[in-house]
Amino acid sequence: MKTKKYPVSRRNFIKISAASAAAVSTISLGSCNVEKVPPPMKRKFGNLGFDVTTIALGGQASIQWTPEDVDPVPIILKAFDLGINYFDTSNLYAKSQLHYHEAFKRLNLIPGVEGYNEALRKSIWLTSKTAMRWGKPGWPEREDVVNWSNGEDVKCAVDDVKRSLSQIFGDGEGNYPEGAYLDMVLVHTLHNSAEVDVLYEGLETPLDPNGNFGALVALRDLRDGTNLTGMNPENKKLIRHIGFSGHANPPAMMEMIQRDEYGILEGMLVAINANDKLKMNMQHNVIPVAEAKGMGIIGMKVFADAAMYHKNPDWSRAPEDVYRKVGSPELPSRPLIEYALTTPGVHTLIIGIGQIDDDPMKCQLTQNFYAAQIEPNGMPAEERKKIEEYAAKVKEGKTNYFQAIEKQGLSAPQKLLLAENKITWHTAFADEAPISHYEIMAGEALLGKIEHKPQVLRSQPFIFEIAAPVDGIKVVAVDKAGNRAEALYA
C-alpha cells in the first residue's frame, strides 16, 4: 500500500471552497473567448477611491524573465481583455517596463499620441517601484541600507520615477510625454528599521534641500506638485500615490506605517500565502495595521515565487525559474489564490504569468482570473486551516525564503511605561492567532482590560489610567487562542 504524499486528494483539494468548484465548472465549459468571461470581481481599494479587481497582473515572471518562445506583450493585452485593472512593474524588473510600453502603444495609452485613450488610462491603476532609499543623488553608502538601481543614470528615487515614465510612456532614453503619470510608486522591498530611518529623513528631521533626505519627502513633491526638496523645480505631479512593499520583516513594516504622521503612505504590497504562519506572519501583524490606516493592500508571492512548485526556495533569476503550468496535480493553484484573497485586509493579488494559452484549462491568466472571483469572507476558517496544513507539506514548509524572521510566538507588549498614573505600551506581535486584548495587572490583581486594535501611529500607544501608583505593574498580551505574554514595568 502506497503512502499518500498529501493528506487529501487533488479532487477534494480543488473543492475546498464552493467558489472553486463553481469556477472550475464554468471555465471547463467556456473558451478563451473573453466575451464569455464574466466581469471581474472588484473590491474597494482602501481609502483610495478606486475599485480594484481581485486579480492583478504582476510585472515579473515572463514579463521580466522572458523565455525565448514567449512574447510578453500578449500577456498584458489579455489582462486588459479580461478586465483586470491593476498592473504592476518595477525599475528592477529588467525589460518589464519596456514590455508595458509596447502593450500601451497598441492600447493607445501613450499621452500626446493621436488616438490617446484617456478614459482607458483613468480606468486602470499602474504601479511601479523604486529600491532607492534616498531622495537625491549623493547618498552615503551604508551596509544596513539597500540602494538598488537598474542603471548608472539612476542615483535616487526621483530618478527611478522618471525612468519608469520614460520606459513605459516615452522613448526609454529619459524623455516622456506631458500627461504621463504613475498611479502609485512603491518604495520596494523594505528590509529593516535602518532603512525606515533613512526614508523618513527630511520628515522627522529638518529638511535641508542642500543636504540629503529620504525618498519619501522627495516622492511627496512629485505627488503633490511641490518643490520643498528642490528635486521638482517645475512643480510637476508625476505620481498619484505613494506606498511601500515588504517581504521579510513585519515589525519594520509596521514601523514604516506607524511613523507616517504626514499622510504619505497610501498603499502596501505584502508577501502573503498559505505558509505565512510558518514564519513571523504578515496576516496578524502588518496587514491589520495597513488596513486600519486605510491603505490599499496588494498581496504577492501567492505561490512563493514558484517555490511551491518547480524551483528551489530562492529568488528567481532566469527564464527557467518561470513556472509555466497551472498549478500541479499535488498542489492546485486555485485554493492558494483563494487563501490569499480571503486573508482579512487583502484587496488584490499580483500574480506573475509564465504563459497564456488558447486552451483555458492551460492558461495561467484565465485560471487565476476565475480563482480570484471570491468574496473576502468566502472561505471559512476551518478550510483556511486545511490549506495551511496542505501547503506546509511542500518542501518541508521551507518555501517562504523571503520571510526573514522565524516563528517566535506571541510577544509581550512593547515599550511599557508608567507616568502620571498612566500606563502606556506599544502593540505586541502576534503569532498564529490574532491578539484579542491586554490585561493590566498589579501583581496578580487584574486592574482592567483593553481591547487590542491595530496601532496605526507610534504617537498613539495603548493607554490605561490608574487612580494611584501601585507596585508590580505588568501588561499581558492575550491572543484569541488563549496564549499569554507579559511585560513587567521595572
Residue 406 in domain = no
Domain coverage including residue 481? 414-488
Lookup: cell for 210: 542642500
Blockwise average pLDDT, block size 10, the chain, 490 residues: 35 41 34 66 98 98 97 98 98 97 98 98 98 93 88 89 98 97 98 98 97 97 98 98 98 98 98 98 98 98 97 96 95 97 98 96 97 98 97 96 96 95 97 98 96 98 92 96 95
pLDDT given at position 140? 86
pLDDT of residue 30: 28
Burial status of residue 428 (CB atoms within 10 A of its CB: 0-12, 13-18, 19 or more)? buried
3-state secondary structure of 483: coil
Kindly list the distances between the CA atom of residue 398 and the CA atoms of 275, 277, 299, 310, 459, in Å, as whole numbers in the listed order. Answer: 9, 12, 19, 13, 37
Question: Is 440 in contact with 487 (CB distance < 8 Å)?
Answer: no
Give residue for cell 517645475.
Answer: 234
Q: Are residues 100 and 15 in the same domain?
A: yes
Q: Is 1 part of any domain?
A: no
Asked if residue 157 and residue 38 are part of one domain, the reply reads: yes
Q: Are residues 382 and 484 in the same domain?
A: no
Q: How far is CA 182 from the centre of its chain?
A: 17
CA dihedral 267, 268, 273, 277 (to 10 degrees): -130
Same domain membership, residue 455 and residue 353: no
The burial of 435, by beta-carbon neighbours within 10 Å (0-12 exposed, 13-18 middle, 19 or more buried), is given as buried
Do 316 and 440 reside in the same domain of the chain? no
**CB–CB of 54/43 below 8 Å?**
yes
Other beta carbons within 10 angstroms of residue 265's beta carbon come to 21
Could you tell me if 390 and 426 lie in one domain? Answer: no
Please spell the DSSP secondary structure of 7-41, one letter per residue: SS-HHHHHTTSHHHHHHHHHHHH--S-GGGSPPPP
Same domain flag for 393 and 420: no
Same domain, 431 and 323: no
Residues 392, 418 within the same domain? no
Residue 249 neighbours by CB under 8 Å, 6+ apart: 190, 191, 192, 404, 405
Q: CA-CA distance, 421 to 463, in Å (whole number)?
A: 10
| CATH number for 427 | 2.60.40
Task: Write down which residue in 345, 369, 397 finishes a domain.
Answer: 397
The domain spanning residue 259 has which CATH number? 3.20.20.100
Q: What is the pLDDT of residue 16?
A: 39
- Count of domains for the chain: 2
**CB 22: neighbour CB atoms within 10 A?**
12
Q: Give the count of beta carbons closer than 10 Å to the beta carbon of residue 68.
A: 5
Q: What grid cell was written down for 82?
A: 479580461
In this structure, is residue 409 part of a structural domain?
A: no
pTM recorded for the entire structure:
0.93
Note whether 44 and 190 are same-domain residues.
Answer: yes
Mapping DSSP to helix (H, G, I), strand (E, B) and coil, where does residue 43 land?
A: strand
pLDDT attached to residue 357: 96
